[in-house]
């Protein structure tokens, strides 16, 4: 058999202002090229220990079970649910966008009986709405997305929602894929049982790792399971055995990706996460003002609008997909279309991680102005 035709690797250096990945921080790029280490090399294990402490800092938790899974954000979703759910368990899925619906589907695939409560795209839940749904049945757990990347809405009141779940004896799984590193995520203060994220959003790294943290209640449930977790790969007990003192082999984790993630986390810790949140907010406000001035107002009310991800209303008569394609082809800027029913209604503009810089916003606003 002849070798296939191949070309040189020469991807363009895009300005990534979509819903993720954000741009990789230059320090992370350098870290990614460090020499490969074996997955049990003592030097890699030292890196893991630091990475865990940095993740605990970002998640604001003391949880022992805090790791980065080998996989994208979806592996975090699957790990949370496959470890907690056993067939027949009752799950309440609170859905205010696409990723909330994905959690419900994953729970169903684990054999759970899933009840869904839904908000129209662009809205969030009140605590009362979730409290009254929780009173209808004894649920094992509830799922909810903190930062809905499909709409740009921040689900507020997570602490109160968590308290309501626990009041009824249910656990809470929180999707923090687009929130971690971009807005405060307070796992211990909010008493969250499992939360996970993705390396490619606000952490300055490429995709491929999913930070996850599990608290004592979740750990207790997992340890008392009647049957082993159906996924060998996503079994959190096996992760704990690999990341903990035993360092037992589980799978061949990518040292390079961990070098990159740890560097991204170090960048955030050096800036201080509160300062990073303030920078995201200030940059997002510049973007919002610029969009408003151009007749492309943000879609989500200011009270729960996410700094890392803005949805902006497409002006009447404008083809959003043509504009998006021209931004990419002529200005090298990536943004995204809306999701589902919002496909032709909004653009999604991300200011995640290393993408959240003044020069990117100025360039994007100028480019959009020219195209409109
Ligand atoms: C809120 C949310 N959850 C989960 C995911 C899934 O992550 P991934 O695409 O990295 O698998 C995403 C991805 O955009 C997301 O935005």
One-letter-per-residue 3-state SS of 142-175: EEEECEECCCCEECCCHHHHHHHHHHCCCEEEEE
CATH top-level class for 26-269? alpha beta
Predicted TM-score of the model (pTM): 0.98
Pocket of ligand 1 (CB under 6 A): 19-20, 72-74, 77, 99, 145, 149, 175, 177-178, 198, 207
The rounded distance, in Å, linking the Cα atoms of 152 and 183 is: 13
Asked, colleague to colleague, whether 15-20+272-371 and 26-269 share their fold, the answer is no
CATH 3.90.1150.10 fits 15-20+272-371, yes or no: yes
The rounded distance, in Å, linking the Cα atoms of 18 and 200 is: 11
pLDDT attached to residue 2: 95
pLDDT attached to residue 271: 97
Which atom of ligand 1 is nearest to 207's Cα?
A: 10
CB 260 within 8 A of CB 206: yes
Give 97 Cα–ligand 1 centroid separation in angstroms: 12
Give 339 Cα–ligand 1 centroid separation in angstroms: 13
pLDDT attached to residue 274: 98
Q: For ligand 1, atom 10, which residue shows the shortest CA distance?
A: 73
Query: Residue 121's Cα: distance from chain center in Å?
Result: 18
CB 143 within 8 A of CB 173: yes
Q: What are phi and psi of 9, to 5 degrees?
A: -80, 115
Average pLDDT along the chain, 372 residues, taken 10 residues at a time: 94 97 98 97 97 98 98 98 98 98 98 98 98 98 98 98 98 98 98 98 98 98 96 98 94 97 98 97 98 97 98 96 98 96 96 98 98 96
pLDDT attached to residue 252: 97
Domain-wise residue ranges, the chain: 15-20+272-371, 26-269
Give 41 Cα–ligand 1 centroid separation in angstroms: 30
Instruction: Name the DSSP letter for residue 209.
Output: E
């Amino acid at each position: 058999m002849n070798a296939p035709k191949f070309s040189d690797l020469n991807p363009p250096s895009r300005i990534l202002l979509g819903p993720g990945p954000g741009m990789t921080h230059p320090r992370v790029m350098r870290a990614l090229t460090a020499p490969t280490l074996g997955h049990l090399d003592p030097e890699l294990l030292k890196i893991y220990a630091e990475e865990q402490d940095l993740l605990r800092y970002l998640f604001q938790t003391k949880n022992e079970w805090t790791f980065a899974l080998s996989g994208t954000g979806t592996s975090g979703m699957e790990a949370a649910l496959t470890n907690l759910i056993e067939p027949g368990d009752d799950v309440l899925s609170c859905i205010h966008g696409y990723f909330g619906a994905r959690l419900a589907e994953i729970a169903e695939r684990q054999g759970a009986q899933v009840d869904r409560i839904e908000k129209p795209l662009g809205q969030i839940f009140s605590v009362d709405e979730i409290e009254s749904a929780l009173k209808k049945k004894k649920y094992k757990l509830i799922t909810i997305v903190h930062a809905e990347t499909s709409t740009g809405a921040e689900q507020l009141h997570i602490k109160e929602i968590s308290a309501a779940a626990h009041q009824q004896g249910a656990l809470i799984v929180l999707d923090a894929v687009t929130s971690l590193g971009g807005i405060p995520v307070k796992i211990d203060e909010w008493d969250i049982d499992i939360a996970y994220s993705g390396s490619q959003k606000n952490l300055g790294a490429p995709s491929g790792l999913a930070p996850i943290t599990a608290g004592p209640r979740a750990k207790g449930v997992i340890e008392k399971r009647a049957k082993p977790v159906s996924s060998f790969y996503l079994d959190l007990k096996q992760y704990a055995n690999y990341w903990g003192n035993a360092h037992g082999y589980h799978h061949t984790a990518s040292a390079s990706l961990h070098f990159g993630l740890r560097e991204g986390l170090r960048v955030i810790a050096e800036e201080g996460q509160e300062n990073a949140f303030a920078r995201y907010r200030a940059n997002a406000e510049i973007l919002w003002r610029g969009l408003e001035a151009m007749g492309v107002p943000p879609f989500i009310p200011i009270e729960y609008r996410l700094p890392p991800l803005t949805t902006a209303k497409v002006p009447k008569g404008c083809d959003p997909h043509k504009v998006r394609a021209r931004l990419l082809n002529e200005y090298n800027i990536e943004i995204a279309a809306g999701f589902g029913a919002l496909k032709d209604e909004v653009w999604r503009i991300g200011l995640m991680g290393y993408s959240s810089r003044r020069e990117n916003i100025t360039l994007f606003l100028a480019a959009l102005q020219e195209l409109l």
